[in-house]
Structure 1
Amino acid sequence: MFGILLTVSLFSQGLTIVGYGKSFITAFPENLSQFYPNTSRSLRVTALHDGTFVDIFYNGSSTPTQTIPNLMKGQTVTVVFPKSAEVYQLDNSTQSIRINSSKIIVVHSVSTANFTINTISAQTNIVQPDENLGMNYLIPSLNYTTFLTTFGISQSTTYNSFRLIIINAEDTENNITIVKNISDKIQLVNFTIPSYQLIQLQADASLMMVNSSCKIAVLLTHPCLHKTNCTCSMIVNQILPVRLQGQNFVVPFVQGITQRQLFMTSNDEASSLSQNNNQLTPSSSGYLSLSDMNNQYVTASSNVSLRLISPGLFIELIPENQFAACYMLPFYSNSKLAVVIAKTDSTAQVGLGTHTIVTSAWSVISNTQYSKAEITSSDPLALIWTTSSKIAVYIVEQSGETIFGGPAIPINEQPGSGCMLPGEFVVGDQPLKWTESLDYCTNPERGFACFINENLQIEFARQVNTTNVEGWIGLRQSLMTTAWYWQTNTTSASSSVNYVYWANGQPRANKIEICASLSLNGTDDFKWKSARCCKKKLPVCYKQPKNFGPLIMIATRYIS
């Protein structure tokens, strides 16, 4: 891809991905579906901790259009939006939707259209938390006419190109650069997007890359993607930034999807894809076919994004380095199928809900260390988890002749006992001394925050509301040995210090700064420093991880 230089995000974003956060931004693409007017569009919001308050901002409003109060762990609210929420024009728009919450949540989007009695056009999408957004995106160079030819579709349409929706995720003007390749010449198009607004563009095969000065969300869509049965279905794919690409993939082939191709996007023009040590040769339009349908493990020579494409279905594949330990599955149809990929020697530790998946459900993927299971569920919300090696989970649903779905929502990266929620960080309201903070945090449900590993530091960055003050953590220096140790009342944290995240020049070597605080400002990357214990700072507490569930659909809210 012509070697354009890309930047890497800061530590606080990490190189891993989870589906939860405290702030989100999205939009509803246009859903034509044979021009049938009976369309619906909604968001499902699920709380991961008790006492969660959610604010929804719609259509440029600076005050919440709707507030959802006091959600408990596992409760889900469906928020329905009007037809006017669909982004149909090619230009700037205020039709973005922002979701902010007091504690971590997950957000899932669905758009449907009924155009016959038995067939529904439906597309679902994980709304990525702001943490997963970036400033550098590679765009699949898809030509719509070539797409139709590849899958043997002869229908013509007025909408002869894909579309790209770029949403400014920050409260400041965002400078955007579109990189195009026209007749082997690079062309740059520059423009700005105001705070929290969006722009919709045509996305033909010349469009390569989007770079920005601040975080953006990027949606690849088509309002009426033709299929082989003289119908069409809207598609939507939220593109992940370059930093979340990978090299190794297990392709989730599913019975019933007869036409399928892979499409690879990479910043390295020499990048190639191989299967069982055999290089896959792309067609002139860039599509790749697997040579062995029983061996679904493919490897790229450099970091890429990979999509499984079928008429009416785009699935962004989960790289092996981003497998997780727990997934939430929001279902919408009566045909609820989960495709689970796990290491063969750990399939006995994979569960659905409260039970492990039966041995007979698994089939070995040849020439790999993985097995696959296709699991059906009777519930509209389900959990799939592992207590050992990480897994990948995809949702595949069918309504009439329409197949839709994509990756499930990753909840936790670290295997535990069942589907474990991340622990909850609680920052006190009033500044206290270090010893007072220890007393404040210590009770049967929580203790002083002890960052015994990098995972906890990253989790804190995901959850905390940033301020310009500092907070006490459970780290102090021994007067006897001068060694630093963790002061904890839980059995899961070790007193020894094996991980540190000190700011430059910290800790200072003196006998009066023997307690540790951290910055609550994300721009400082939440670095630690030594301080006098008698200083007053906000106490930072930690509630241990809990098992997630049960999941409950509790209400429907309407945005007018």
Structure 2
Amino acid sequence: MSSTSGLLRLLPLLLLLLHSESSKSEMHIGKEFLVAFPELIAYYHPDRPNITIQATALGNEASVTTVSRLDRQSNQQTVVTTYDFIFDENLELGKEEISNRSAKITSDRNISVFATSHKNNSIQTALIVPTHSLGTKYFIPVVPTIQTTTNPASGVTMQVTERSPFRIIILNAGAENTVTVKGEEEDRVIGLSPYQVAQVWLDQGNNMEAVEATAPVAVFFGHPCALRAPCTCGPLYTPLPMVMEDTSDFLIPPFVAEPESDEAQVLVMDGSGSSSSRRYSQDSPVVRKAGAAILYSPGLLLALIPDSDFASCYIVSAIPDVKSYVVIMVKKDETDGVYVGTTKVATGWESMKNTDYKAVRHDLEDGRSVIWHAYSKMAVYFIGNNEGNQFGHPAPIISTTPDFRGCALVPESLHIGNSAEGWRESLKYCLDQDLELISFISEDHVNHVNRQLAQSELGELAELWIGMRRSSVVGSWYWANDHPVNVTYWGEDEPGSTEDGQCAMMGSKKDDDFMWKDEDCCKRARPLCISRGKFITE
């Protein structure tokens, strides 16, 4: 096949490939979720737990149903923005090794979900991923060093709550499953029916390395009441992230752990299955690994976001009556593109030592907040603090496609036609594909599209039809879709006279800066079609 014919076959896909990362946004949004609530013992009080999930609708209202697998109780609600579903306290896990204490959440539209366990003034939250994002292999981190709880190791015992072993919690999805917990000395094999939950206590003498399953599962890691101050303990849990196969940078968010805390640690799992820990230092806030990493600080286990999973839009919700904020990390020269709602985050940025990044702590108002970047990607963490007790989780990713108009729920996509025709035929081609021959609404839109074209591989393709032409009556330019002409991007000495051309095309070469020119409408060129996006900012 010649390079030209190969190009022709690829052209309809070239720009769609710019959005191939959209599947990453589906890591955190979906229509089916499973949740289990780990045992929560706080301050040794026999208080009843308050266990909830918060469902967040994205753009359109969603019909959301929760079903407890323990007693089959269901609850259906129409969610406009956010809604808190409250579960019976008996759904909280006890000390059973195998149980049916889980809940299923389904929706007719994409939603995001996080879970909250609240007892006394101790809170734990977890980002719940949809079932289609669950994996079959997770590495188990090394147990953090916590004075009295895990150190000295000889003091760990099932007989004392705050000195009991750490545990992993395995939540099975909707298939019969065989789960193997791989240990340094021996493995443990567990059979699980759909939606069952298994708990495995981590034996200090048999270092457990990984969870491997024949069907998708979620895995949690933690402790029901790790010591955080003298005579004070609280829950400590996090969902385990799936392991990254490629080497990534894991940036440790500031404003979460004390800068030179002797207690804060980074738990690192590498691609070979081995795990280790290191003391946290603000002077070295990056872990470079193929694997996964978790930050431990008293009261908090926080799965770190690899730079390969940075995204352009997140949605978070403050917890009522609790101090809530986000930590945002972005490249130093890209802070000007960060917004919370319609407000640019212009102040408060601090450089992260020995990195190319800056970070900011932004306090949240009540309700839902949309955090988005106009032209790049970033990492966002939700953090709460209730009377000095810290908790948090990675913010749910809504979109990986940056856009100057807001959070792209449905990204705008570009499509180059697969044959060269005149302007009128190009207009029809786009319409027949349920698309439009592209029009531009602003200078920002021109820059946005040019940036996408610059990232694509257009080969020998030189020119593309756009949806502008000249009126043969008055000689003025107009968009075929009747949008007002708010911006033009003509090249030097363009446009010419009416005799030079009645239709507009744009260059497809970065060296030519994608400038426009007028041309004979019968000239054969490929159309640049567009599928309009759907955006939210608040």
After TM superposition, the score normalised by the length of structure 2 is 0.69
Rounded to whole Å, the distance in 1 between the matches of 2:102 and 2:397 is 24
Q: CA deviation at 1:61?
A: 6.4
The runs of 5 or more residues in structure 2 that have no matched partner are 1-19, 440-448, 458-529
2:326 alignment partner AA: A
Matches within 5 A, 1:43-442: 43-60=53-70, 65-69=74-78, 71-72=79-80, 75-114=81-120, 120-142=121-143, 148=149, 157-158=160-161, 159-170=163-174, 172-182=175-185, 187-205=186-204, 206-243=207-244, 247-254=248-255, 257=258, 258=261, 259-268=263-272, 286-290=276-280, 293-300=282-289, 303-332=290-319, 333-358=321-346, 360-423=347-410
Rounded to whole Å, the distance in 1 between the matches of 2:196 and 2:274 is 36
Deviations 1:161-181 (A, max 9, x none): 1121111112x2111111011
Compared with structure 1, are the counterparts of its residues 451 and 216 closer, same or farther at alpha carbon in structure 2 (3 Å cutoff)?
farther
Rounded to whole Å, the distance in 2 between the matches of 1:102 and 1:193 is 28
Matches within 5 A, 1:486-505: 487-490=433-436
Q: CA deviation at 1:400?
A: 1.4
User: Any conservation in 2 of the 1:31–1:113 contact (CA below 8 Å)?
Assistant: yes
Counterpart of 1:3 in structure 2 is none
- SS state at 2:31 partner: strand
Deviations 1:259-295 (A, max 9, x none): 3111101232689xxxxxxxxxxxxxx32024x5244
User: Any conservation in 2 of the 1:110–1:124 contact (CA below 8 Å)?
Assistant: yes
- SS state at 1:366 partner: coil
Rounded to whole Å, the distance in 2 between the matches of 1:217 and 1:330 is 23
Q: Of 25, 42, 52, which aligns to 1:33?
A: 42
User: Any conservation in 2 of the 1:249–1:318 contact (CA below 8 Å)?
Assistant: yes
1:326 alignment partner AA: C
User: Any conservation in 1 of the 2:99–2:197 contact (CA below 8 Å)?
Assistant: yes
Rounded to whole Å, the distance in 1 between the matches of 2:272 and 2:407 is 38
1:35 alignment partner AA: Y
User: Any conservation in 2 of the 1:144–1:204 contact (CA below 8 Å)?
Assistant: no
Compared with structure 1, are the counterparts of its residues 331 and 134 closer, same or farther at alpha carbon in structure 2 (3 Å cutoff)?
same
Counterpart of 1:525 in structure 2 is none
Which is further off, 224-233 or 247-256? 247-256
Q: CA deviation at 1:330?
A: 2.1
User: Any conservation in 2 of the 1:385–1:418 contact (CA below 8 Å)?
Assistant: no
2:279 alignment partner AA: S
Q: Of 2, 14, 31, which aligns to 1:22?
A: 31
Compared with structure 1, are the counterparts of its residues 421 and 68 closer, same or farther at alpha carbon in structure 2 (3 Å cutoff)?
farther
Q: CA deviation at 1:492?
A: 5.9
Q: CA deviation at 1:366?
A: 2.9
Compared with structure 1, are the counterparts of its residues 20 and 419 closer, same or farther at alpha carbon in structure 2 (3 Å cutoff)?
farther
Deviations 1:378-419 (A, max 9, x none): 224322211122111112221112111121121111111354
Rounded to whole Å, the distance in 2 between the matches of 1:269 and 1:86 is 30
Compared with structure 1, are the counterparts of its residues 30 and 270 closer, same or farther at alpha carbon in structure 2 (3 Å cutoff)?
closer
Rounded to whole Å, the distance in 1 between the matches of 2:144 and 2:350 is 36
Compared with structure 1, are the counterparts of its residues 544 and 168 closer, same or farther at alpha carbon in structure 2 (3 Å cutoff)?
farther
Matches within 5 A, 1:445-456: 452=415
Compared with structure 1, are the counterparts of its residues 352 and 140 closer, same or farther at alpha carbon in structure 2 (3 Å cutoff)?
same
The runs of 5 or more residues in structure 1 that have no matched partner are 1-10, 115-119, 272-285, 425-448, 454-474, 500-541, 551-560
Which is further off, 101-110 or 252-261? 252-261
Q: Of 527, 535, 538, which aligns to 1:547?
A: 535
- SS state at 2:398 partner: strand
Q: CA deviation at 1:131?
A: 2.5
User: Any conservation in 2 of the 1:351–1:418 contact (CA below 8 Å)?
Assistant: no
Rounded to whole Å, the distance in 2 between the matches of 1:547 and 1:390 is 16
- In terms of Rg, which structure is larger? 2
Rounded to whole Å, the distance in 1 between the matches of 2:34 and 2:533 is 27
- SS state at 1:488 partner: coil
Q: Over aligned residue pairs, what C-alpha RMSD do you find?
A: 3.5
Which is further off, 217-226 or 142-151? 142-151
Compared with structure 1, are the counterparts of its residues 366 and 100 closer, same or farther at alpha carbon in structure 2 (3 Å cutoff)?
same
Rounded to whole Å, the distance in 2 between the matches of 1:266 and 1:355 is 39
1:105 alignment partner AA: I
1:161 alignment partner AA: P
Compared with structure 1, are the counterparts of its residues 143 and 289 closer, same or farther at alpha carbon in structure 2 (3 Å cutoff)?
closer
Compared with structure 1, are the counterparts of its residues 452 and 22 closer, same or farther at alpha carbon in structure 2 (3 Å cutoff)?
farther
After TM superposition, the score normalised by the length of structure 1 is 0.67
User: Any conservation in 1 of the 2:318–2:365 contact (CA below 8 Å)?
Assistant: no
Compared with structure 1, are the counterparts of its residues 334 and 52 closer, same or farther at alpha carbon in structure 2 (3 Å cutoff)?
closer
Compared with structure 1, are the counterparts of its residues 178 and 59 closer, same or farther at alpha carbon in structure 2 (3 Å cutoff)?
same
Q: CA deviation at 1:491?
A: 5.0
Rounded to whole Å, the distance in 2 between the matches of 1:244 and 1:53 is 36
Pairs aligned (count): 416
Rounded to whole Å, the distance in 2 between the matches of 1:295 and 1:266 is 18
Rounded to whole Å, the distance in 2 between the matches of 1:42 and 1:200 is 21
Deviations 1:287-337 (A, max 9, x none): 2024x524423322xx12111101211011000100111111222243222
Q: CA deviation at 1:135?
A: 0.6
Rounded to whole Å, the distance in 2 between the matches of 1:190 and 1:256 is 37
Rounded to whole Å, the distance in 1 between the matches of 2:376 and 2:392 is 24
